[in-house]
Every structure is written in C-alpha cells, then in structure tokens.
A and B are shown apart, each in its own frame.
Chain A
Amino acid sequence: NAGVTQTPKFQVLKTGQSMTLQCAQDMNHEYMSWYRQDPGMGLRLIHYSVGAGITDQGEVPNGYNVSRSTTEDFPLRLLSAAPSQTSVYFCASSRLAGSRNEQFFGPGTRLTVL
C-alpha cells in the first residue's frame, strides 16, 4: 500500500492564482481531512469528509473548497491564493469505526504564495 499520497510536494503561487492540492489514499478509509501547519504551530483542520459525496468545514475553511467524488481522492482547491495561505498542507485519512481512529498522514505540500 502507498498509504496517503500528496502532490505536488512544493508549489509557489502568485496572489490571486488558483490551484488544487491532490490527496489520495489506497486504504479504503471513509474519513479524509486536510490540515494546515504554520511555522511553530500545531496542525489546524481545514475541511473533512466522512465519505464520498459528504464534506464539512473544519476550524479554518475560508478560502478553500473540497469535494469527495470517490473514496480514494480528496482534493483541496485554493480559489484565489493569498499570502496568508502560505503554509504546509497535510492530508490525512482514517477509518471511522473503532476507538483506534488512527489517522494516517501524507508527506505534505509546501505552498508559498507571493
């Protein structure tokens, strides 16, 4: 299993540009989520999904859109990039059932908005 994969690893955008961060998992997990991590900070939840066709907002959703058309994929779209969105973005997935609720994280996408 590849686990959770993210592309691209690095990206530089200009203010106002749009882009999509890709996330995929091959573990048949129902739950997927996006976090951002700013320097010296813990991770903050952006959006999450409990299954195909179902998404919801996390702590910091503004400026981001998500969709979940398949179990495997959960792309994050930046509609009009702003310097405040410069961050490292992590995608995670897990099963919904069971107390373990272990979340598996991808390697991250490092985004710089100029």
Chain B
Amino acid sequence: DAKTTQPPSMDCAEGRAANLPCNHSTISGNEYVYWYRQIHSQGPQYIIHGLKNNETNEMASLIITEDRKSSTLILPHATLRDTAVYYCIVRAYSGGGADGLTFGKGTHLIIQP
C-alpha cells in the first residue's frame, strides 16, 4: 500500500469547515483513499473513501486531486464531537485479500469552541 503523509495536528473553530490534507504521491492506479477517525479511546470509525472522483456522504466530503497524489477530507460544519484523530489510508481493493489497514499517526483535529 502507498504511504501517506498527514500533518500531526490541526485546529478548527466550531461551525467552520475543517479541511484535512493528505499526501499520497506514490498511489497506484488501483488504490483507493480511505478516511477513518478515532475519537478518544474508541475504535476507529469509517468516514468515506474514493478512487478518483470526489465523494460526499452524510459525514464528510472527499476531494481527490486530478493526479491523485493528494486528497482533502472536508467536514463542512465542524462540531466539538468531531475532535478526533483522522487517518488517511491508501489501500488497493482486494476482494479476496485481507492485509488489513495500515494506520499511520494521523492528524489530531481539535475543534475549538
């Protein structure tokens, strides 16, 4: 799986959009970009994933650059409950494979009141 680079921490004001960047310059054509988050002491939670098109769901939006070497996770209206560590993970779809998710240290997002 390709390696990802994320800033170690970010602050965002409550009610504003939180934009979390991720670099994955060695991503392969068959690799997806996944985002998970881990709220303090809990198990990680899936947020969103994409291949090359921008994606949106009820939690967030994912913007992937045209060359796919970087992406941005957007939480449109951050709340205090969004304070967490956010992990950007690049992984090939492998329906029969199961090598797990490679978690780096992620970005600790702190939402300020």
Are A58 and B105 in contact, CB atoms less than 8 angstroms apart? no
State the Cβ distance, B94 to closest chain A Cβ, in Å. 8
Interface residues in B, total, Cβ within 8 A: 25
A43 to chain B: which residues have CB within 8 Å?
44, 101, 103
State the main secondary structure of chain B at its contact with A: loop
Does B60 sit within 8 A of A, measured CB to CB? no
Contacts of A101 in B (CB 8 A): 32, 34, 49, 91, 93
Q: Is the CB of B43 within 8 A of A33?
A: no
Write the residues of chain A forming the contact surface with B, with a CB cutoff of 8 angstroms: 4, 31, 33, 35, 40-45, 48-50, 56, 58-59, 88, 90, 92, 96-108
List the interface of chain B (C-beta within 8 A of A): 32, 34, 36, 41-46, 49, 51, 87, 91, 93, 95-96, 98-106
